[in-house]
Structure 1
Amino acid sequence: MNTDRLPLFCGTALAERIERVEAQLIAKGSEAARGRRADTAGFVIPLAGGVASFAEEGSPLNKVVGLGFGGVPSAAALDEVERAFRACGSPVQIELAHLADPAIGALLTERGYRLASFENVLGQTLGGGRECVTPTGVEVRPSDDDEFEPWLDVVAEGFAHPDAQGVPSHEEFPREVIARAVRDLTAAAGVMRCVALRDGVIAGGASFRMAEGVAQLTGAATAPAHRRRGVQTALLSARLAHAAAAGCDVAVITTQPGSKSQENAQRQGFDLLYARAILVKQP
């Protein structure tokens, strides 16, 4: 890694772009979930530059994202969102970037929101001619629809056995809920999947999405038996090479603070851009 490289600076303009494509991702996945369901539960409500989303019970898409760069939401707008979540029996979870308008944090605190956790957003500048680097014995290739179940198996196994480093996540999701969310995101939001094979055996899986020049690395996992063999590095390198060739100028990844994922990302040239506070209000 080039020690003379300048860290990627994230001002409010870049943060706004990243948060906007995150809101698009969640909204498209939530809309796909509602289209799949027979009932009419669920919603996507625009909110001050972001969106409030409820896809289905227990879904990781049930949250407010992208808030903070389109003005301070009005009390009436927040009332509407809180009523919608309450009608679904769900808490309101807001992911608020620390580069967002600081008045929003004060407003949410006054309305009874409590700080539940943090997550970090890291980024890396992309340029043309990026090479895909894979260690001996590891192959990374696109994962087709007929390979979804084996891909999901290895991703779910990896998430079920996280590295015991850093701050643990405040939430967990059953395998079937993750599967439905991934299917919805793939179908509606343009999320692409890739698989890593080690000596011919599926060892890991990952996904990513490209929008507005931003490559969103939306998840990666390695089966415990194949860890520390370069699988995660190979999955990351392949996605970055694809995104750079497609014209993206920045790649972003979200991690738990102090986690092995964050450590690996920073070793691969990612810089910490900003944190998101996870604020929750119970129904």
Structure 2
Amino acid sequence: MSEDAATLFCDTATAARIERMETDAITGGVRTGLRRSNGGFAQEIAGGAACFAAPGSPLNKVVGVGFAGVPTVGQWEAVEQAYAEVGAPVQVELAHLADPRIGADLTARGYRLTSFENVLGLRPRGRAWPTPQSVEVRRDDENGFDTWLDTVVEGFAHPDDDGRPAHEEFPRDILATVVRDLATAGDTHRYLAYRDGVPAGGASLRMAGGIAALAGAATLPAHRRQGVQTALLSARLRAAAVADCDLAVVTTEPGSKSQKNSQSQGFALLYTRAVLVKDPA
């Protein structure tokens, strides 16, 4: 473990910054989709947001609550009614550093714990980020959006986690819509990795308030175990350092290959989110 990973500490203020950025990203993606079609919503609740993009979308969730007060009974009732009207369950992603009263309230309201996800962090300043010589990474914000999108969606469509299933799986068309909406919402930078001149993987980077969120990383099956993810990670961390971000974060499934790869690059566990779900009445 690196010295940075051993000493990196996440307090509630840091978690609140990360959760605010996550909330802004999700609501931005939802609102981008709403310009294309009606039927979704992004409602503020206690510093977070209750979001619905479309049936079956991974953006359908409550995020960021617990750092700006505890939602009232009336607020939870309004959220549950909004999801009931679109026939969707209420999924709350609750950071373990959030106000603990929220977990107790949700349990009392009939929510069930379904899974967890980990948020890991690293300080990007003052470090060297080597790139495998066999991989070329290009920032692709101006041209080739469709190539980037196809590469990322194809990679996500064939998960690579040593047989460990993700707690969520989505059809390809829904994945493509969500990846597109998140990539075109706000100040998101896209990266493509090439091997032998052909696209091998893609990823995205979003920076705000001194935090760099590394997301959307996927490698095509034929190019795995060739340093593609390391190259994409290094390119984004260099960009975060140049932008003087004090923290870079990634979100992974607990015990997954993504978490293993992230920790091998110096990321440390900051906190865990519990995923709690209540089915529509």
Query: For this structure pair, what is the TM-score category when the shorter chain's length is used for normalisation?
Result: over 0.9
The alpha carbon displacement at 1:191 in A equals 1.8
The alpha carbon displacement at 1:170 in A equals 1.9
Q: Secondary structure of 2:51's match?
A: strand
1:113 alignment counterpart: 111
The alpha carbon displacement at 1:72 in A equals 1.1
The alpha carbon displacement at 1:160 in A equals 2.3
1:182 alignment counterpart: 179
1:66 alignment counterpart: 64
Q: Answer whether contact 1:167 1:256 (CA < 8 A) is retained.
A: no
Matched, 1:270 2:267: yes
| Percent identical | 61
Aligned CA distance change for structure 1 residues 185 and 5 (closer, same or farther; 3 Å): closer
2:78 alignment counterpart: 80
TM-score scaled to structure 2, two decimals?
0.95
1:14 alignment counterpart: 14
Question: Within 1, Cα distance between the matches of 2:35 and 2:150?
Answer: 25
Q: Could you give the per-residue CA deviations for residues 152-193 of structure 1, whole angstroms, max 9, x where no partner exists?
A: 222222222222437522211122212222222222222211
Matched, 1:195 2:192: yes
Matched, 1:207 2:175: no
Q: Which amino acid aligns with 2:68?
A: G
Question: Within 1, Cα distance between the matches of 2:229 and 2:154?
Answer: 14
Question: Within 1, Cα distance between the matches of 2:71 and 2:3?
Answer: 42
Aligned CA distance change for structure 1 residues 133 and 118 (closer, same or farther; 3 Å): same
Q: Could you give the per-residue CA deviations for residues 210-265 of structure 1, whole angstroms, max 9, x where no partner exists?
A: 01111011220111111111110000000010011012110000000000000000
Q: Could you give the per-residue CA deviations for residues 59-89 of structure 1, whole angstroms, max 9, x where no partner exists?
A: 1111000011111100000111111111111
1:154 to 144, 151, 160: 151
> Which 10-residue stretch deviates more, 154-163 or 41-50?
154-163
Question: Within 2, Cα distance between the matches of 1:97 and 1:167?
Answer: 23
Question: Within 2, Cα distance between the matches of 1:106 and 1:159?
Answer: 34
Q: Which amino acid aligns with 1:47?
A: I
1:251 alignment counterpart: 248
Q: Which amino acid aligns with 1:25?
A: A
The alpha carbon displacement at 1:3 in A equals 5.1
> Which 10-residue stretch deviates more, 248-257 or 52-61?
52-61
Q: Could you give the per-residue CA deviations for residues 100-147 of structure 1, whole angstroms, max 9, x where no partner exists?
A: 11110010001010111100000001215x444211221001124542
Structure 1 unaligned blocks of 5 or more: none
Q: Answer whether contact 1:96 1:277 (CA < 8 A) is retained.
A: yes
Question: Within 2, Cα distance between the matches of 1:80 and 1:134?
Answer: 49
1:46 alignment counterpart: 44
Q: Which amino acid aligns with 1:51?
A: A
Question: Within 1, Cα distance between the matches of 2:166 and 2:134?
Answer: 32
Q: Answer whether contact 1:30 1:55 (CA < 8 A) is retained.
A: yes
Aligned residues: 280
Aligned CA distance change for structure 1 residues 180 and 68 (closer, same or farther; 3 Å): same
Aligned-residue CA RMSD (Å): 1.6
TM-score scaled to structure 1, two decimals?
0.94
Q: Secondary structure of 2:15's match?
A: helix
Aligned CA distance change for structure 1 residues 83 and 268 (closer, same or farther; 3 Å): same
Q: Answer whether contact 2:120 2:270 (CA < 8 A) is retained.
A: yes
The alpha carbon displacement at 1:4 in A equals 7.3
Question: Within 1, Cα distance between the matches of 2:264 and 2:163?
Answer: 16
Q: Which amino acid aligns with 2:277?
A: V
2:213 alignment counterpart: 216
Matched, 1:89 2:87: yes
Q: Which amino acid aligns with 1:91?
A: P
1:30 alignment counterpart: 30
